[in-house]
């Protein structure tokens, strides 16, 4: 037997609840959720509409606060942080990808990717270089000056992923990242996420209702009625070995 200490989770939810409203109109979206995620894992979160999966992702992303229970990130009690502290955690450790892309319509791909770096106060030359490198990582070298209206849905989601990873986050939170894409583009996006997980070690938590997309993850967590119904290891996650490796990060 090994005497090595157990690996502490990167993320831990302990008996987390989330209640909206009060009195007779109160609705419990989460009802005592326990979840542990280690650094480098790729976890798919599934469940029917209203099951609590998106609420859980919002809590994990510091977009919402639990009504009770503990949320630890690297051992820090996130539920005890104030608004500014939670904003700093989001800015420095978390990246977000949404179903609707959430790109600025009249802004170039490069400028969209630069936005998180502007909030960090990075000098213009450095952020231009970092944004261009992130776009190259997602296969969009040469598309830096195109606006979202000049890009396909798959390309827009790649820009959104570049924006999410340009800050080199520890965790990527993806809410239905293939929900607006056709099958071929969905596979491309999932292959990209899997490569970011495998080659960069980015921890990924992804909400999806599509089993084919969840099959790319190492774990699949099913929510139902505000609780985790099952948490299963996927022994053979989908892979795309024919795709080239990501470029080595600059710096």
pLDDT digits (tens, 9 = 90+) for 127-163: 999 999 999 999 999 999 999 999 999 999 999 999 9
C-beta atoms surrounding 166 within 10 Å: 25
**pLDDT beyond 90 at 226:** yes
**pTM of the predicted model as reported, rounded to 2 decimal places:** 0.89
Label residue 3 by pLDDT band (50, 70, 90): low
The predicted pLDDT at position 248 comes to: 43
Q: How far is CA 83 from the centre of its chain?
A: 20
The predicted pLDDT at position 30 comes to: 97
pLDDT digits (tens, 9 = 90+) for 21-80: 988 899 999 999 999 999 999 999 999 999 999 999 999 999 999 999 999 999 999 999
**pLDDT beyond 60 at 125:** yes
CA-to-CA distance for 134 and 37, rounded, in angstroms? 26
Tokens of 15: 């008996």
Contact 223, 56 (CB under 8 A): yes
> What is the mean pLDDT of the segment spanning 175-188?
92
The predicted pLDDT at position 153 comes to: 92
pLDDT digits (tens, 9 = 90+) for 79-122: 999 999 999 999 899 999 988 888 999 999 999 999 999 988 89
CA-to-CA distance for 85 and 169, rounded, in angstroms? 16
Q: Is 47 helix (H, G, I), strand (E, B) or coil?
A: coil
The predicted pLDDT at position 120 comes to: 86
Label residue 5 by pLDDT band (50, 70, 90): low
- In the numeric block, the tokens 């029917």 are attached to 48
Radius of gyration of the chain (CA): 18
CA-to-CA distance for 31 and 242, rounded, in angstroms? 42
Label residue 246 by pLDDT band (50, 70, 90): low
- In the numeric block, the tokens 């992702």 are attached to 57
34's CB contacts (< 8 A; 6+ apart) are: 13, 14, 15, 16, 228
CA-to-CA distance for 146 and 110, rounded, in angstroms? 8
CA distances from 46 to 71, 107, 146, 192 (A): 20, 33, 34, 20
Q: Taking the CA of residue 55 as centre, how many other CA atoms within 13 Å lie in the half-sphere pointing to its CB?
A: 27
Q: Which domains does the chain have, with CATH numbers?
A: 40-65+82-233 (3.40.50.300)
The predicted pLDDT at position 249 comes to: 43
CA distances from 47 to 157, 177, 181 (A): 23, 15, 20
């Amino acid at each position: 037997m090994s005497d090595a200490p157990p690996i502490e989770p990167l993320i831990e939810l302990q008996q987390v609840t989330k209640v909206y409203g009060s009195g007779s109109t109160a609705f419990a979206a989460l009802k005592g959720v326990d979840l542990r995620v280690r650094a480098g894992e790729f976890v798919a979160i599934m469940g029917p509409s209203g099951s609590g999966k998106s609420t859980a992702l919002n809590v994990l992303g510091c977009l919402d606060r639990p009504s009770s229970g503990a949320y630890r990130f690297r051992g820090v009690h996130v539920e005890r942080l104030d608004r500014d502290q939670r904003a700093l955690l989001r800015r420095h450790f978390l990246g977000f990808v949404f179903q609707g892309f959430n790109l600025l319509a009249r802004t170039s791909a490069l400028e969209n990717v630069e936005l998180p770096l502007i909030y960090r106060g990075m000098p213009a030359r450095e952020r231009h270089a970092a944004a261009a490198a992130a776009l190259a990582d997602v296969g969009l070298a040469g598309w830096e000056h195109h606006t979202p209206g000049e890009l396909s849905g798959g390309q827009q989601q790649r820009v959104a992923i570049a924006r999410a990873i340009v800050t080199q986050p520890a965790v990527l939170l993806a809410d239905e990242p293939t929900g607006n894409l056709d099958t071929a583009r969905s596979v491309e996006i999932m292959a990209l996420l899997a490569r970011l997980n495998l080659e960069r070690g980015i921890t990924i938590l992804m909400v999806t209702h599509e089993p084919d997309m969840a099959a790319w993850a190492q774990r699949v967590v099913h929510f139902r009625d505000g609780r985790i119904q099952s948490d299963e290891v996927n022994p053979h996650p989908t892979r795309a070995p024919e795709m080239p490796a990501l470029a080595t990060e600059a710096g």
